Copies of this chain bind each other. A is one copy, B any other.
């Protein structure tokens, strides 16, 4: 992508109402633009990262056996009356009346709709286990939207819903999502710690939040340091028997401030391992049994021919919120530092003198070689001054910067900089390409 033909409206300064660093940097890097309180347009750079995050979430859901569908943004109020949540949900639900005076709502979550889909088609335990997920825009009418995409009103969420014959099987489904989440966040370069959580308006009796540790996190968290250091399980697993993996991660103390109990923390955790930190919730999983299947009559015939209510769970990931969390966890004074897996581009090629034909030819050649190797390349072919180009490259956080100018070209070298470490080397182009594809 040539920067001169792209749409990357960076800002020198963030608007003063952006309070946290991820919000400031997303505005300055031309990733988002606020269209109304808590409602954002995703500018091209922001959209690229959003799609990368979304794709990692999707791949790990599919790996864990979930099947993707897509439910609409608007739902019938009557469906929520079946579960009893229409009146209970409160002012965060955006209620809408259409031209024929039918009551709709902008879905904040989809337990009712997916249960309705399930009951319409699935009649036998032989079709179970079933886990259906979608990645769709949701709306929650937050009283005070703030912190950019971290607490927006229109937001992108992955929500999965599992259906099982009984509680024991449902816990296996819960474990699959638990492990999928560990892998998902690890792929994005995040340390996300599962913490026992309150079930809130979703309901149920088993729930974990996944919390990214970041100094600017919204809430205090307390956990065993060893839990933070545990590696993600990876993909090569027996997905039908994950209990030991889950047990190893739930045996140690970990709690958000709502669930925290200091005495238990101290009794369970050696003093040297007690970590008090701040965290950002990026995922939340629930097992809630028959909470929706009973009132909505989502029943299947069991092996004995008798109909039983299915046991359900739901599993959310805040896809758009993750972008804020990643930036909170990975930035410096110069701007964003994207982990490779979610970076909008793999490398930015910086042309230091576009008026110099030899330099431009060398840049074209570098871009072509990198593209042929499958790299996503942003090519800064603008007539901006070098200082401005370097500042923009640092700000937008692309993992590698490959700079070509007349002086280096005369010496047969280009400059390769790793954004995360600031390390720079002057090497021939072939060697630079080798390093950044290693």
Chain A positions within 8 Å of B, measured between CB atoms, are 5-7, 9, 30, 33, 35-37, 39-44, 47, 50, 65, 67-76, 79, 91-92, 94, 96, 98-99, 102, 104, 106, 113, 116-117, 120-122, 130, 132, 137, 139, 141, 143, 154
* A50 to B30 alpha-carbon distance, docked (Å): 29
Chain B residue contacts of A130, Cβ below 8 A:
7
CB-CB under 8 A from A137, the residues of chain B are 72-73, 137
CB of B74 within 8 A of CB of A139, answer: yes
Minimum Cβ distance to chain B for residue A294 (Å): 22
Complex: chain B residue closest to A50, CB-CB: B70
Closest 3 CB pairs of A and B: A9-B121, A42-B70, A91-B99
Instruction: Select which of B43, B69, B75 is within 8 A of A42 by beta carbon.
Output: B69
Which of B36, B67, B116 meets A74, CB within 8 Å?
B36
Give 23 pairs: A residue, B residue, CB < 8 Å, sorted on A.
A7-B67, A7-B121, A7-B132, A9-B120, A30-B121, A35-B72, A35-B79, A35-B113, A36-B72, A36-B76, A39-B74, A41-B70, A41-B71, A41-B117, A42-B69, A42-B71, A43-B117, A47-B68, A47-B70, A73-B73, A74-B106, A91-B99, A92-B99
**Which one of B7, B72, B91 contacts A40 once the chains associate, using CB atoms below 8 Å?**
B72
Q: Which residues of B contact A69 (CB under 8 A)?
A: 7, 41-44, 47
A81 to chain B, nearest CB (A): 14
User: How far apart are the CA atoms of A99 and B96 in the complex, in Å?
Assistant: 11
A26 → B minimal CB distance (Å): 14
Q: Which of B5, B35, B75, B99 is in CB contact (< 8 Å) with A65? A: B5
Q: Say what secondary structure dominates the interface of chain A.
A: mixed
B72-A154 in contact (CB<8A): yes
| Assembled-state Cα–Cα distance A40/B6 (Å) | 35
Pick from A37, A70, A130 the residue with the most CB of B within 10 Å. Answer: A70
A75 touches B35 (CB 8 A): yes
Which B residues touch A42, using CB under 8 A? 69-71
Minimum CB–CB distance for A140 against chain B, Å:
10
Contacts A36-B104, A41-B71 known; 14 new A-B pairs at CB < 8 A:
A5-B67, A9-B120, A35-B71, A35-B72, A35-B75, A35-B113, A35-B116, A39-B74, A47-B68, A73-B137, A94-B96, A94-B99, A98-B141, A99-B143
Q: A104 contacts which chain B residues (CB < 8 A)?
A: 36
Partner of A73, one of B71, B92, B132, B154: B154
Query: How many whole Å from A59's CB to the nearest CB in chain B?
Result: 14
Tell me if A44 and B72 are in contact (CB < 8 A).
no
Chain B residue nearest in CB terms to A45: B69
**Alpha-carbon distance between A76 and B153 when the two chains are bound, in angstroms:** 13
Find chain B residues with CB under 8 A from A37 CB. 102
B-chain residues with CB within 8 Å of residue A67 when the two chains form the complex? 5-7, 44
Complexed CA–CA distance, A117 and B8 (Å): 12
Which residues on the B side are within 8 Å of A139 (C-beta)?
74
Report the separation of the CA atoms of residues A30 and B74 in the bound assembly, to the nearest whole angstrom.
20
- Nearest Cβ on chain B to A136's Cβ, whole angstroms: 9
- Among B68, B94, B102, B122, point to the contact of A36 (Cβ < 8 A): B102
By the criterion CB–CB under 8 Å, are A33 and B76 in contact? no
Q: Is the CB of A117 within 8 A of B33?
A: yes
* A154 close to B74 (CB less than 8 A): yes
Closest to A144 in B: B100
A434 to chain B, nearest CB (A): 27
The complex places the Cα of A68 from the Cα of B94 at a distance, in Å, of: 28
A378 to B76, CA, bound (A): 33
